[in-house]
């Protein structure tokens, strides 16, 4: 009985340690490209888009005025928004920093 209790405690400790991974690297994104207004789309999220690394991303930001960078080459840092893409659309990125390239 004592062995089963110790074994159960060890399993609990090991399983809780493995679930403490840092997932911030998975959602962080760094992109370089030209920002364009989103316009009409079949998906209904985001305000702007950027084509980077042969892929299209949709952008939104609560602290960066993306309109100030329309049709300009930029370098941006952001995070993937959980739950996207929707409706077969592109990934949604919450932009936190941006600079002209």
pTM for this model (two decimals): 0.73
Residue 4 within any structural domain of the chain: no
The residue range of the domain holding 46 is 23-100
Indicate if the pLDDT at residue 21 is higher than 50. Answer: no
Which residues, at least 6 apart from 77, have a Cβ–Cβ distance to it below 8 Å?
28, 29, 30, 95, 96, 97, 98
CATH number at residue 74: 2.40.50.500
The total of structural domains in the chain comes to 1
Question: How far apart are the C-alpha atoms of 1 and 3, rounded to whole Å?
Answer: 5
Residue 7 lies in a domain: no
pLDDT digits (tens, 9 = 90+) for 77-94: 999 999 999 878 999 999
pLDDT at 101: 87
pLDDT surpassing 60 at residue 9 = yes
Averaged over 38-62, what is the pLDDT? 93
pLDDT of res. 18: 42
Residue 74 contacts residue 36 (beta carbons within 8 Å)? no
Whether 71 is in a domain gets the answer: yes
Place of tokens 């370098």: 75
48, 66 contact by CB (below 8 A): yes
């Amino acid at each position: 009985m004592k062995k089963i209790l110790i074994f159960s405690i060890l399993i609990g400790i090991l399983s809780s340690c493995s679930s403490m991974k840092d997932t911030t690297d998975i959602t962080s994104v760094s992109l370089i490209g030209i920002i364009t207004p989103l316009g009409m789309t079949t998906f209904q999220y985001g305000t702007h888009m950027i084509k980077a690394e042969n892929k299209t991303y949709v952008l939104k930001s609560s602290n960066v005025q993306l309109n100030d960078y329309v049709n300009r080459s930029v370098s941006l840092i952001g995070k993937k928004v959980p739950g996207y893409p929707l409706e077969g659309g592109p990934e949604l990125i919450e932009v936190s920093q941006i600079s002209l390239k």
